Structure 1
Amino acid sequence: MDSETVVISDTKVIVVSGARSNIGKTCLARALRKLLPGAVRIKIGHHPRKPGYDDGCFYPMGTSFSTIAFEHGDAHFLIIESNRILEEIRPECAIYLPADDPKPSAEMAKKKADIIRGEDLSISDMSILAERLGCNEAVIEKIAELSGAHKEQG
């Protein structure tokens, strides 16, 4: 391989974002990690790692996606808990968990979301997500269910 060859990772990225703290982002990210083989859970945040945080990797706010991707290049899926990372990347799937009294970054995260807790997810959108993530539609249905979205009835 010469120095001009570009290697594109086949790692798929799912971002779990939300209106504020304590709305279930970590719980959802853990469930997705268990669902998806080869997944690594990443949290990007302001605060130091919480006790008992044993099944994920913590990065401080401001860590670039390129750093995270490099350090986890062998992961099949990166499940990233963060709103701000959506300013830097367009993941294969963005999930948004709404709540009252949203923090400033929440509006942007909601606008970029593919799946929103409490809202319908169309069959066509499920098909698009399945293609982007390289999964079958049954896996996307499970992701939607875990996220609290509703499969649109047709």
Structure 2
Amino acid sequence: MWDVSAMNQLPGYMKLCYRSLLDVYSETEKDMADQGRLYRLHFAKEAMKTLVRNYFYEAKWCHQNYVPSLDEYMTVALVTSGYSMLATTSFVGMGNIVTKEAFEWLFTNPKMIKASSVICRLMDDMVSHKFEQKRGHVASSIECFMIQHGATEEEARE
């Protein structure tokens, strides 16, 4: 929901974050409307919704101590890595060089974005795996691979 009244449904610790997010989108809406580029905000909001939906999957996995298959994990983790969201958000303020068709192309999940997301997600998981497991985070690609294939951590990293 993109409505300040929805804040009442949130726990206290999320209200500031939600309000800040609404403020950013509200400011962007004014700028884009003045420039005749309001369609860009639609794409930015859709990218944010996709990101948050996938954060929810990760949260459920974490609370249920569920370790997904590597394929299931990667489907969600490629979104929660934020790279597609970053690309979309970057396009919003790029001026006339970016067209509506560019946003539509971006939403087809092109190979360039997917490949970048895979590389960055796996690199991030290799670096943060041990730290995140200590703090009770959702399983990483390392853990998913280890459990799915009966592999050691070293084998999973390779």
User: Which structure is higher in RCO with an 8 Å CA cutoff and minimum separation 6?
Assistant: 1
TM-score (structure 1 length as normaliser): 0.29
TM-score (structure 2 length as normaliser): 0.28
User: Which structure has the highest helix share of the two?
Assistant: 2
